[in-house]
Structure 1
Amino acid sequence: MLQGWHGWVGTFTGVALITVAVLPLAALAVWALARRRSATGTTSAWRMSLAEVGIVYGTVPWVWMIMLPGAQAGAVPGRVSLVPLKDLLTVVAGEPLTVTVQVVGNLLVFAALGVFAPLRFAALASVPRILALAAGCSVLVETAQYVLRLDRVSSVDDVLLNTAGAGLAALASRRWWRTTAGSAWCG
């Protein structure tokens, strides 16, 4: 099915399969971190551990996928699109399945950050702070795509969608993190 290392670490399918395969390890990491913290008397040990592992497990595969090089990586100069909504309107005019994959994929890149960062860090327990963090992370990723000449378009629309996804995820999880925003940070 997937031949060699490139098939596993250099394709969307490989990254998705690896992500599913390491889910038990992620669950084990949550358990081990929570157990260790509980032994030292840390309050909210399970919540903190789940949030930390959730941020990493839910973000790394998406960033990995968007950093995969295109067919002419290194051979073509980086491309930049700084006109807001230009690329998005081009994608929307395309095939419906492609539109769905592109838009939903971009919304999910930093969604885990939007859900879990406010649970772990009380200082991030506000939607504007999550939006700022996600926008900064997205700009870093888009800049890396350009600098590394990955044969990908570094687009302001990707930044907007990545940021919107984190913001929507933060709003969806606000019920759980608002109750801890006023409490002292446990770190």
Structure 2
Amino acid sequence: MTSNASLPSPARRTRGIMLFVLATLVLACAVFVVRRPLMMSAPACMAGRWHGCFDTFNGVVLLTLAALPLAALVVWALARHRRAAGVMSAWRISMAEVGMVYGTAPFLWMTLMPGGGAGTVPARVSLVPLRDLATMGPIGIGGNLLVFAALGFFAPMRFAASASVPRVLALGAGCSVLVETAQYVLRLDRVSSVDDVLVNATGAVLAALASRRWWRTTEAPADRPQPTPVGAR
């Protein structure tokens, strides 16, 4: 098989470029809409102060957006290293690895952010399913859907062992249980709710379904260097 066989077709390449441009436009529009709340945390973040930056949702979102070029640079460096080693699907693997970390870490930080009564109020837990959904509101439900969305989207692209809906569901639920347990044990002035686990796991599954066409399979390992063909003598 020649090297040209592994290149994407012009139609696929054009579609990929269009999707990238569309995603960039959507991100730019979202940033424009929320620019004022984000800029409220800019002075504290630029000064390196914890209060007003790292302990606020606006500050974490602002830092996440600021770190986007660095994440893209890491993807490029990893992909270049893998391509030099002859690894197939170097870009997909690198993007999946960075995407899982970049898309999950900020939400974990915000989820484990202590409340005003952290360490003083007793730990609270809610084990009745669907009871807390009414009090979450659209923003709360949307945020909980996004907590492990990046993990659900990219994990099946990187690890064949997680490339199934039940496994992604178990992965999202397991990670959510760990987060809720940490909230309870550390007494962060947050309610450890079973509804958070349900919504977090649902978000991971929905994101995984969105990336299903790029899931990695065991029949086509993507991270093994390909043997260099021996030239004819």
Output the TM-score relative to the length of structure 1: 0.92
CA distance in 1, matches of 2:105, 2:221: 28
CA distance in 1, matches of 2:91, 2:211: 17
Change (3 A) 1:168 1:181: farther
Deviation per residue, 1:13-38 (Å, 9 max, x gap): 10000000000000000001111111
Count residues with an aligned counterpart.
Answer: 179
Residue of structure 1 in register with 2:223 after alignment? 186
Residue of structure 1 in register with 2:65 after alignment? 20
**How far off is 1:107 after superposition?**
0.3
CA distance in 2, matches of 1:13, 1:150: 19
1:6 aligns with 2:44: no
Residue of structure 1 in register with 2:94 after alignment? 49
Alignment RMSD (CA, Å): 1.3
The AA in structure 2 aligned to 1:168 is L
Residue of structure 2 in register with 1:63 after alignment? 108
Tell me if structure 1 keeps the 8 A contact 2:124–2:192: yes
3-state SS in 1 of match to 2:113 = coil
Residue of structure 2 in register with 1:164 after alignment? 202
Gaps of 5+ in 1: 92-98
**How far off is 1:185 after superposition?**
5.3
3-state SS in 2 of match to 1:25 = helix
3-state SS in 2 of match to 1:86 = coil
1:132 aligns with 2:199: no
1:75 aligns with 2:120: yes
Tell me if structure 1 keeps the 8 A contact 2:108–2:147: yes
Gaps of 5+ in 2: 1-39, 225-233
CA distance in 2, matches of 1:127, 1:185: 20
**How far off is 1:82 after superposition?**
0.3
Tell me if structure 1 keeps the 8 A contact 2:87–2:222: no
The AA in structure 2 aligned to 1:156 is V
Residue of structure 1 in register with 2:190 after alignment? 152
With a CA cutoff of 8 Å and minimum separation of 6, indicate the structure with the bigger relative contact order. 1
The AA in structure 1 aligned to 2:165 is V
CA distance in 2, matches of 1:156, 1:102: 14
CA distance in 1, matches of 2:214, 2:222: 15
Map 1:89-128 to 2 at 5 A.
89-91=134-136, 99-128=137-166
CA distance in 2, matches of 1:28, 1:155: 37
The AA in structure 2 aligned to 1:158 is D
The AA in structure 2 aligned to 1:32 is A
Tell me if structure 2 keeps the 8 A contact 1:59–1:113: yes
**How far off is 1:89 after superposition?**
2.6
CA distance in 1, matches of 2:222, 2:89: 10
Moved over 4 A (4+): none
Tell me if structure 2 keeps the 8 A contact 1:121–1:185: no
The AA in structure 1 aligned to 2:60 is V
Tell me if structure 2 keeps the 8 A contact 1:122–1:182: no
The AA in structure 1 aligned to 2:219 is G
Residue of structure 1 in register with 2:132 after alignment? 87
